[in-house]
Every structure is written in C-alpha cells, then in structure tokens.
Amino acid sequence: MEDLKNITNTDLKNVINIIEELEEEINKMKTKITELMYEEDIKYVYSKLINDYLHDHQLNTIFFIHNNNIKYIIRYPHLSGFKSLIIVGKKAYLWESYELGQNKIVIKYTNDYDIEDDIIKTLERIPESNIDHAEPLLFKLYHILKKNYPVINFVNFVKVKYT
C-alpha cells in the first residue's frame, strides 16, 4: 500500500495514455478481423455487380438501404469514391450526383439494375465499412440518408441521359 502513495499525476497520465493506445490498437485489430471475416463476401458481391450488371471495374462504394437501415460498404478502403451504387430494396442505382431540397433529396443516376436475392442476402451479412475516411461527397450523402431515411418520399431518383 505504501508504494501507491508514491504514484504521481504524471505516472497516472502515462498509464492512461498507454491504456488509450492499447484500446486504439485493439479497435484496429477488431476492424482488421472483421474485414478478413467478410472479405470473401465483399469480393463476391463486387464481382457479381461488376461482371453481371455494371460491366465497369470502377465500382468501389455501395450504399445499401434495406429494412430501414443504411450501410456504407466499400470495396477498397484506401480508394474512396470512383463509381457508387445505391441499392434500395432490390433496385440498384448507379448515381452520379444529388441535390438537397426542402425535405427532399434528388439523386441523379445514369443506370438502374434489378438485383438478385443472393446479392441482397450477402449484403445483409456484411458489416458496415468505416465511413470516416470517405470522400466528402459520399460522407455527406451517407449522413443525409442516415438522418432522414425512411421519411416517405424523402428520396427521389431521377434518371439522367447524356446525348
């Protein structure tokens, strides 16, 4: 008990710093384990979407809206952006921009696709990716959708055509 009386504030701060660093490392390890556990599912989903639907290898981001829940799922965490899909129910939209209006968001898309059940079921299993390092446009859209969905008629998809 006598030894505890000799502990200084500096000693306590050092111990707290070490504990915080350990906690950060544990969180990083948990994230890596989760990524490894679902790596095959993510590869499967992206392979199916790219090869069977989009025929475009630049797809890297999915917003999956299902059962009033929104997930951000990224293929390569170090490459946020490129082409993104929004999947609502069984419909996928290759979107390019959005506009925020009063009590409504308009999402402009170039193509839409009917998605198979096996892709939807696999997406349901995959945990959400970390959005903290996403491109600002994706980050903002995610939080707008997360905050406002499932407000009836909040999201309006509009197809754009280029000539």
Q: Centre a 10 Å sphere on the Cβ of residue 119 and count the other Cβ atoms it contains.
A: 21
5 in any annotated domain: no
The pLDDT tens digits for 13-23 are 999 999 999 99
pLDDT of residue 69: 86
> What range does the domain containing 95 cover?
40-159
The count of structural domains within the chain is 1
114 in any annotated domain: yes
The pLDDT tens digits for 82-100 are 789 999 989 999 998 999 8
The pLDDT tens digits for 10-54 are 888 999 999 999 999 998 888 788 778 888 999 999 999 999 999
122 in any annotated domain: yes
pTM of the model as a whole: 0.76
Cα 25 to Cα 50: distance, rounded to the nearest angstrom:
34
> Given the DSSP bridges, would you call strands 91-101 and 69-74 parallel, antiparallel or unpaired?
unpaired
27 in any annotated domain: no
